Amino acid sequence: MELLALILLPFLAGLVLLAFRPGAMARGIALAASLLAFALVLHLWYSWNGTPVVGISRPWVPAFGIHFVLGYDGIALLMLVLTGLLFPFIIGSGWKQPVGDPSLVNALLLFAQSALLGVFLARNAFLFYIFFELSLVPIFFLLLRWGGEHKRSITIRFFLYTLLGGLALLFSIAYATLQTPAPHSADFSALAALHLPMHTQIWLFWTLFLAFAIKMPIFPFHSWQPETYTMAPMQGTMVLSAVMGKMGLYGIVVLVFAIVPEGAAHWRNWVIGLSLFGALYAAIIAFRQEDFKRLVAYSSMSHFGLMAAALFTWNAYGISGSLYQALAHGVLMVSLFYIVAAMAQRAGTNALSAMGGLKTKMPRMALLFLFVTGNAIALPLTQCFPGEWLIYNGLWQLDHWTAFAGVALIVLGAIYMLYAFQRVMLGPIGIGPDRGLAVADADDGEHFFLVPLIAITLLVGIFPNVVLHLVDGPVQQLLNTFTLLP
Amino acid sequence: MVRTELLATLVPALPLIGTFIAGFGRRKLSAYGAGGLATALVAASFLCSLLLFLGHDGQTHIVHLFNWISVGTMNIPFAFQIDALSLWMMLIVTGIGSLIHLYSIGYMHDDPRVATFFAQLNLFTFSMLLLVMGSNFLVTFIGWEGVGLCSYLLIGFWYTNPAYNYAGRKAFVMNRIGDVGMVLAMTLLFHLFGTLNYAEIMDKAGALSPGHPLIVGATLLLFLGATGKSAQLPLLTWLPDAMAGPTPVSALIHAATMVTAGLFLVVRSSVLYELAPYTQSIVLWVGVATALFGATVGLFQNDIKKVLAYSTVSQLGYMFAAAGAGAYSWGMFHVTTHAFFKALLFLGAGSVIHALGGEQDIRRMGGLKGTTKTTYITFLVATLAIAGIPPLSGFFSKDGILAATFAANPLAYGLLVFAAMLTAFYMFRLLFLTFFGTYRGSAHPHESPRVMTVPLVVLAVLSAAGGVLNLPHVFGGHQWLQHFLAPAADGLANEQLELPASTEWGLMALSTVLVLLTIWYTWTLFGKKTTLDGEPAEMPFLKRLIAKRWMLDELYAALFEKPFSWISRHFFSIGETKVAVPLTAGTGRAAHGLAEWMRKLQTGETGFYLFGMMIGVVVLLLITWMGA
């Protein structure tokens, strides 16, 4: 019951906003709803006893094996925490950086949250698929309505590109379901029990994996990402990078590893190679980006590459590190894109060349940005460090040279992040015309947004076990299934 | 035990508290308030360290605070290791640290961001303490990265100057290149030993045979980390640029403490290095090469801080040469005496710069011994110490290193003696040009306030008398520091460097005579300089090469910086703009065609359908659920 309530809560709140159009009050209502949803998630976490939970299981379209099954394990719970934690921030960011009509924007955000919670609660592949695609709809509207330059063509391209992956996913799920013994079932448990022949797994792996590779994205399925992130309104970018990309990681764990483990074993070196290459490639590109937002977009892609590679290492450090990093990356991206928007609002553009020397005018914002930069380059005692450390251990256990390639990111990350920090904050002020006059330091609203995020960053960085313990059991189970592979 | 735990926690906690108070109260605190508070907290931390030191019973105490990262079989505690080595470093860091904090009250009091300065200096002290106190590699790594961050912040403290920001980034990125080695070494060691705790690794390593390839790999990777932090070849070009920071920062971070972290790490893992003779010889030769590199470049520098920076590079080379020769305790002894006299030299340089209103070029100094008497006398003491004149502290520590390298490799010994002569040359050139002859500048020199000269005097006493800490046997001493440090690690305990007494006397006499001759030669060149010379029109090739720092910066720019920038731009302009995006655009165009076709069938509002689909699914869900 509470699982269904969790999904419906944001959805109904969104409907209320659409029905009553409360104007500026919409943000407050949306924030309250998302906080309530987070409280529910925390309640689930608090009452969780470490074993998988099935809350609801009812037949829906039994002929196709579609059942309405909601439940969660530690990995799903981690993703629920991610969604629950970040949506109040994403909604709250609208206070300082309003996107457009507050009733509609917040309704769309709540619909997206509802769908995303559904994705992470679904225990039936068709149900998962429905939520997976539904989550796209509100974001589609958000981008189409309030995006930047070329919003129409970029949004359509993005939408169709991801839909392409989605269709392959739908096909794969249908195919796998039909292979289950009659009566067919698309429940995760039924699909995990499948033992598809190797020649099937080899192609089915790609049709399943494609949607998730695009969603994260990893190289070379990323080409929609930089332009979409750059064009999207801030809240849209946040949802895309901080939460929706994680559907890719999650989908790999619950579907790819479950349905085609041998296919994954067959292809995993390729996936690791592509992901790591993409991570390095994006980090190198980020260095000379002239557009602040696009720079952060490439940094997000670089992080995703590392997470995806680690997920395929198939050892405890790599998988735990990757899942842990899903949360850390979410917090990081929400803070970074917020700062990008705050800077762009002051400079009137995303261009780094129009910024510089802003620390003189806004020492507090510079300090906040410095904390976020420290997290981005994974300084120890920030949230990103334990994740990267575990990922490097996972890569090392897999192959020493792969670990070399991965660890090179600590240099590349420092190169582009510190350069970005310098170009925004340091140096002499007033490079451009009539600048430095209207630039105000971080105000209460911005503190109210960034300080809690930074506090989370430090707390989790100091006590990462709180998060790591969530995934301990499920990761061990995954590893057990991998060791049984021929 | 409870007392040890409390004190060990207070030692790093006090400076951290200072960071928070000075940082968050930076608008409310006065310059003296912030400086006084920060200094008092570091001094209190020194007192706690001293109490721990006095209560030390030769045993290793682990102070466990909490479990930091636990996954599978990995459990990395957040814990401190209190033993002779960490205690000794804690005393140096907090002791020298409090003197430099005190000095900074005078040096920085006119800066508008003085509270921020002290907050960062306290944060540095906290990080450095974590580095030396950590009971495992990963806690050390917290401090390792923390000092890197503080170094970055303090180099670029005057952040409106782009050159300073560049220097800060350069320092951080070069350190991060070293960190690649550090991180990989840690993963390697973890997978080899199943733990990162120093005590356990050193225990388990005893069972391995010398020359084990993974140990060689781990020690080499650790050493890569050390070369970054301690400015050894090839990762040294950041340190001279780091002089962009305020002078007390150069004294504390870029001379006395942080840059010795690399050596500390090598000594901490000396058991592993003892198992890897191959790595040891690399450490030895990198140390020797760096000592020569720094000493040669120091010869022709005209910026007072740059001379000292290259001197630091060179002296760090000595320390690594000692470690490579297996003389870890002599390396640590040189860390100690170098902390005294190099901190003193930098603070003295700061006092001179302060006296001349910001002038750093020694060609426009001269004759200052009359006007800045305390600075001059203390600077003279430090110069004698670093040149290795008996009986000052530097003589004993440098001679111990020379004797050890003589035992290990006579060629290395010869090169280090040569570097010692170069050291005497560039240091006395600096001394003579600054304090002797006649004043060649246009400022009005004045002695610095008491708050700055008192630390100078304390450091001068330590630089002069520091030798007693490890007085060699041939002088009737007991090599106290060596015996004190010995229980901290097997590598330290196994040092066997006994040369015949006659050989030791001979080596000492030789190096002392050579150094004295060099000083006399320097005097004839620079002792009575009264005029300012211009740039010589034509310099010999070798001299030009050395004066240009062996072209190392230019080499790195051509080999790494420019190609990287080029790749970064072209990955984007070709890989992304010309390949990746057109591919998606192709998908988009094809889809547009499809949409046009669909438009004829339907209304064509994709969005409307999507919205309808969403509502439909939810209604379906609800009906199903109600009905069941």
Q: DSSP string spanning B59-110?
A: --EEEEEEEEEEETTEEEEEEEEESHHHHHHHHHHHHHHHHHHHHHHHHTTT
Q: Give the mean model confidence (pLDDT) for residues B217-229.
A: 95
Q: Assess whether pLDDT exceeds 70 at residue B603.
A: no
- Tell how far CA A288 is from the center of its chain: 24
Q: DSSP string spanning A146-207?
A: H--TTHHHHHHHHHHHHHHHHHHHHHHHHHHHHHSPSSP--BHHHHHT----HHHHHHHHHH
CB-based contact B184 A463, cutoff 8 Å: no
Beta strands at B74-82 and B61-71: parallel, antiparallel or unpaired: antiparallel
Q: What is the pLDDT of residue B625?
A: 57
- Tens of pLDDT, residue by residue over B26-43, are 888 888 889 999 999 999
What letter represents residue B400's amino acid? G
What letter represents residue A28's amino acid? G
Contact B405/B498 with Cβ under 8 angstroms? no
Give the whole-angstrom CA distance, residue A404 versus residue A418. 22
H or E element that contains A72 = strand A66-72
Q: Assess whether pLDDT exceeds 70 at residue B107.
A: yes
Q: What is the pLDDT of residue A149?
A: 85
Which of B145, B161, B618 is nearest residue A380 as measured by Cβ atoms?
Answer: B145
Q: Is B207 helix (H, G, I), strand (E, B) or coil?
A: coil
Best of B141, B584, B596 to mutate (most A CBs within 10 Å, chain A): B584
Q: Give the mean model confidence (pLDDT) for residues B418-446.
A: 90
Give the whole-angstrom CA distance, residue B588 versus residue B190. 49
| Contact residues, chain B, for A403 at CB < 8 Å | 184, 187
CB-based contact B585 A468, cutoff 8 Å: no
CB-based contact B191 A397, cutoff 8 Å: yes
Closest residue of A to B69, CA-based? A465
Q: Assess whether pLDDT exceeds 60 at residue A187.
A: yes
What pTM does this model have?
Answer: 0.93
Q: Please write down the HEC assignment for all residues of B21-72.
A: HHHHCCCCCCHHHHHHHHHHHHHHHHHHHHHHHHCCCCCCEEEEEEEEEEEC
Backbone angles phi, psi at A58, to 5 degrees: -135, 145
Q: Assess whether pLDDT exceeds 70 at residue B609.
A: no
Distance in Å, alpha carbon of B437 to nearest chain A alpha carbon: 40
Q: Assess whether pLDDT exceeds 60 at residue B524.
A: yes
B476 in the Ramachandran plot: left (φ > 0), alpha (ψ -120 to 50) or beta? left
Distance in Å, alpha carbon of A59 to nearest chain B alpha carbon: 8
Backbone angles phi, psi at B531, to 5 degrees: -115, 160
Q: Which two tokens stand for residue B578?
A: 């010309």
Closest residue of A to B162, CA-based? A427
Q: Assess whether pLDDT exceeds 70 at residue B223.
A: yes
- Residue B112 has what DSSP assignment? T
Q: Which CA distances in Å does B448 have to A230, B234, B372?
A: 55, 38, 8
Q: What is the pLDDT of residue B628?
A: 47
Q: Assess whether pLDDT exceeds 90 at residue B537.
A: no
B626 interfaces chain A, CB cutoff of 8 Å: no
pLDDT band at A28, cuts 50/70/90? Answer: very high
- ipTM surpassing 0.90: yes
- Within 8 A by CB and 6+ apart from B113, the residues are B26, B157
Q: Give the mean model confidence (pLDDT) for residues A27-43.
A: 95
Q: Give the mean model confidence (pLDDT) for residues A409-430.
A: 90
Q: What is the pLDDT of residue A484?
A: 84
CB-based contact A468 B595, cutoff 8 Å: no
Q: What is the pLDDT of residue B616?
A: 65
Q: Which CA distances in Å does A410 have to A36, A386, A390, A414, B432?
A: 38, 13, 14, 6, 45
Closest residue of A to B566, CA-based? A288
Distance in Å, alpha carbon of A106 to nearest chain B alpha carbon: 16
Q: Assess whether pLDDT exceeds 60 at residue A23.
A: yes
- Tens of pLDDT, residue by residue over B241-265, are 999 999 999 999 988 899 999 999 9
pLDDT mean across residues, chain B:
88
B67 interfaces chain A, CB cutoff of 8 Å: yes
pLDDT band at A297, cuts 50/70/90? Answer: very high
pLDDT mean across residues, chain A:
92
Q: DSSP string spanning B358-397?
A: S--BGGG---TTTTSHHHHHHHHHHHHHHHT-TTSHHHHH
B142 interfaces chain A, CB cutoff of 8 Å: yes
**Which of A343-357, B57-71, B107-121 shows the lowest per-residue confidence on average (mean pLDDT)?**
A343-357
Distance in Å, alpha carbon of B594 to nearest chain A alpha carbon: 11
CB-based contact B614 A134, cutoff 8 Å: yes
**Which of A127-131, A144-148, B118-122 shows the lowest per-residue confidence on average (mean pLDDT)?**
A144-148
CB-based contact B625 A408, cutoff 8 Å: no
pLDDT band at B613, cuts 50/70/90? Answer: low
Q: Which two tokens stand for residue B493?
A: 């305990």
Contact A432/A355 with Cβ under 8 angstroms? no
Q: What is the pLDDT of residue B598?
A: 58
Q: Assess whether pLDDT exceeds 90 at residue A13.
A: yes
- Within 8 A by CB and 6+ apart from A303, the residues are A279, A325, A329, A332
Q: Give the mean model confidence (pLDDT) for residues B219-243.
A: 93
Q: What is the dihedral of CA B9, B11, B13, B14, to 10 degrees?
A: 140
A360 interfaces chain B, CB cutoff of 8 Å: yes
Give the whole-angstrom CA distance, residue A161 versus residue A158. 5
Q: What is the dihedral of CA B7, B11, B17, B22, to 10 degrees?
A: 140
H or E element that contains A469 = helix A465-483
Distance in Å, alpha carbon of A75 to nearest chain B alpha carbon: 15
Q: What is the pLDDT of residue B87?
A: 95
Which of B69, B179, B621 is nearest residue A68 as measured by Cβ atoms?
Answer: B621
- Find, among B25, B42, B26, B242, the residue nearest to B126 by Cα: B42
Q: Assess whether pLDDT exceeds 80 at residue B367.
A: yes
- Find, among B157, B155, B89, the residue nearest to B125 by Cα: B89
A224 interfaces chain B, CB cutoff of 8 Å: yes
Which of A386, A404, A427 is nearest residue B165 as measured by Cβ atoms?
Answer: A427
- Tens of pLDDT, residue by residue over A44-79, are 999 998 888 998 888 888 878 889 999 999 999 999
Best of A131, A325, A393, A416 to mutate (most B CBs within 10 Å, chain B): A393
CB-based contact B69 A389, cutoff 8 Å: yes
CB-based contact A468 B581, cutoff 8 Å: no
CB-based contact B69 A419, cutoff 8 Å: no
What letter represents residue A21's amino acid? R
pLDDT band at B387, cuts 50/70/90? Answer: very high
Q: Which CA distances in Å does B182 have to B127, B146, B219, B273?
A: 17, 14, 10, 15
- Tens of pLDDT, residue by residue over A80-127, are 999 999 999 999 998 877 777 889 999 999 999 999 999 999 999 999
Q: Assess whether pLDDT exceeds 60 at residue A380.
A: yes
CB-based contact A411 B173, cutoff 8 Å: yes
Q: What is the pLDDT of residue A433?
A: 45
Q: DSSP string spanning A367-407?
A: HHHHHHHHHHTT-TTSTHHHHHHHHHHHHHHH-HHHHHHHH
Give the whole-angstrom CA distance, residue B226 versus residue B219. 10
| Contact residues, chain A, for B606 at CB < 8 Å | 156, 159
Q: Assess whether pLDDT exceeds 60 at residue B172.
A: yes
pLDDT band at B597, cuts 50/70/90? Answer: low
Q: Give the mean model confidence (pLDDT) for residues B5-14.
A: 94
Contact B228/B151 with Cβ under 8 angstroms? no
What letter represents residue B140's amino acid? T
B570 interfaces chain A, CB cutoff of 8 Å: no
What letter represents residue B267's amino acid? V
Q: B550 vs B411, which has greater pLDDT?
A: B411
Using CB atoms and an 8 Å cut-off, which of residues 263-302 of chain B contact chain A? none
Q: What is the pLDDT of residue B532?
A: 62
- State the count of interchain CB pairs (< 8 A) between A and B: 180
Residue B517 CB neighbours (<10 A)? 12
CB-based contact A464 B69, cutoff 8 Å: yes
CB-based contact B625 A58, cutoff 8 Å: yes
